[in-house]
């Protein structure tokens, strides 16, 4: 990864305790920074718990939602999946996040989706993309750093779904791998890194299907040389391990070969620095507008234990909007 001067600009702002919002794409070669004035002028719409610039009332979506997705065939999905599996067999990676791009049709605009979806983190870039993410990347509070890797989902309606998710060998291995990866990542910028909560299960309600998602909590104390250097910290930690895999450099090569499409800002990072603390998220649950068509990007972690059909179904299951 090359040095992007925009990360230095983020360092400058954070050292001067100037609030800003940012978007960083997956490959870290596009970084957008928004000042407080741009946020107030609604250059983009944001709805985080610590910053919002919308006047939308959180009312129910009154009209019925029309929603169709047109996922690629299993045979097409299999082409990239086999590239991933071949590299896993060779030991080039032990976890690779493989994602696809699916055309969707809906009677909702990007603005509607932003307004009516329920999520911890929501951002709309008009005429470009919207996301409604449940996944925190890192938080920095009083020079402590926290991350909450989210890996593993299951249909909540399945009997004993919680126990199945926590004990499924593939999901468990994937979760252990990401927790270990992010613990090591945090250790680059923090001391006393430890896992505080392991395999927490969260309920995600959607119109199409209710899901259970598994996450853990890791925390540490920012090293003195990284305090008030938001850009440097992010550049050290990115791309996010939960949507990349491990080891990072080789796994990125595998992803680019297997996916054959541009993720863009999908699986990148968005965040807000309020002048003292940082909250940020992984840009998943992501819909992009391209040539007047809408595309939903989704995927999941692949290990040597992964089953082709199960992973294909998981990729399709994640094509939803949390409107209910």
DSSP codes joined into one string, 67-129:
EEEEPPPHHHHHHHHHHHHHHHHTTS-SEEEEEEEEEEEES--HHHHHHH---SEEEEETTTE
Q: Which domains does the chain have, with CATH numbers?
A: 5-317 (3.60.120.10)
Per-residue pLDDT of the chain (324 residues; tens, 9 = 90+): 446 899 999 999 999 999 999 999 999 999 999 999 999 999 999 999 889 999 765 555 566 889 999 999 999 999 999 999 999 999 999 999 999 999 999 999 999 999 999 899 999 999 999 999 988 999 999 999 999 877 777 778 787 888 878 777 777 777 788 888 999 999 999 999 999 878 778 776 665 667 787 778 899 999 999 999 999 999 999 999 889 998 999 999 999 999 999 999 999 999 999 999 999 999 999 999 999 999 999 999 898 889 999 999 999 988 988 875
Q: What are phi and psi of 319, to 5 degrees?
A: -85, 80
Q: Residues 14-26, buried b or exposed e (16+ Cβ, 10 A)?
A: beeeebbbbbbbb
What are the E-state strand segments in the chain? 20-24, 31-35, 45-47, 67-70, 95-106, 121-125, 129-133, 136-141, 144-147, 150-155, 190-204, 211-222, 245-246, 269-273, 278-282, 286-290, 293-302
Residue 239 zone, left/alpha/beta (φ > 0; ψ -120 to 50; rest)? beta
pTM of the model: 0.89
């Amino acid at each position: 990864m090359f040095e992007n001067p925009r990360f230095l600009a983020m360092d400058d702002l954070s050292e001067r305790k100037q609030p800003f919002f940012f978007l960083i794409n997956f490959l870290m070669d596009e970084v957008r920074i928004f000042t407080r004035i741009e946020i107030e002028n609604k250059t983009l719409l944001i709805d985080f718990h610590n910053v919002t610039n919308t006047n939308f009332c959180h009312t129910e979506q009154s009209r019925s939602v029309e929603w169709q997705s047109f996922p690629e065939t299993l045979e097409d999905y299999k082409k990239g999946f086999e590239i991933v599996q071949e590299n896993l067999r060779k030991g080039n990676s032990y976890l690779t996040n493989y994602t696809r791009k699916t055309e969707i049709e809906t009677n909702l605009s990007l603005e509607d989706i932003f307004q009516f979806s329920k999520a911890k983190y929501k951002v709309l870039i008009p005429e470009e993309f919207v996301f409604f993410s449940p996944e925190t990347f890192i938080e920095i509070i009083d020079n402590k750093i926290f991350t909450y890797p989210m890996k593993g989902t299951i249909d909540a309606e399945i009997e004993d779904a919680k126990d199945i998710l926590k004990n499924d060998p593939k999901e468990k291995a994937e979760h252990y791998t990401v927790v270990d990866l992010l613990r090591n990542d945090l250790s680059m910028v923090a001391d006393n890194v430890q896992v505080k909560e392991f395999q927490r299960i969260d309920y995600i309600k959607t119109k199409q299907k209710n899901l259970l998602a598994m996450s853990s909590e890791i925390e540490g104390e920012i090293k003195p040389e990284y305090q008030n250097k938001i850009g440097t910290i992010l550049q050290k930690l990115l791309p996010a391990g939960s949507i990349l895999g491990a080891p990072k450099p080789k796994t990125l090569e595998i992803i680019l070969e297997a996916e054959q499409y541009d993720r863009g800002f999908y699986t990148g990072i968005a965040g807000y620095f309020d002048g003292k603390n940082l909250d940020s998220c992984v840009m998943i649950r992501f819909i992009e507008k391209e040539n007047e068509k809408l595309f939903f990007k989704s995927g999941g972690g692949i290990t040597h234990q992964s089953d082709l059909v199960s992973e294909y179904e998981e990729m399709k299951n994640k094509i939803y909007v949390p409107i209910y």
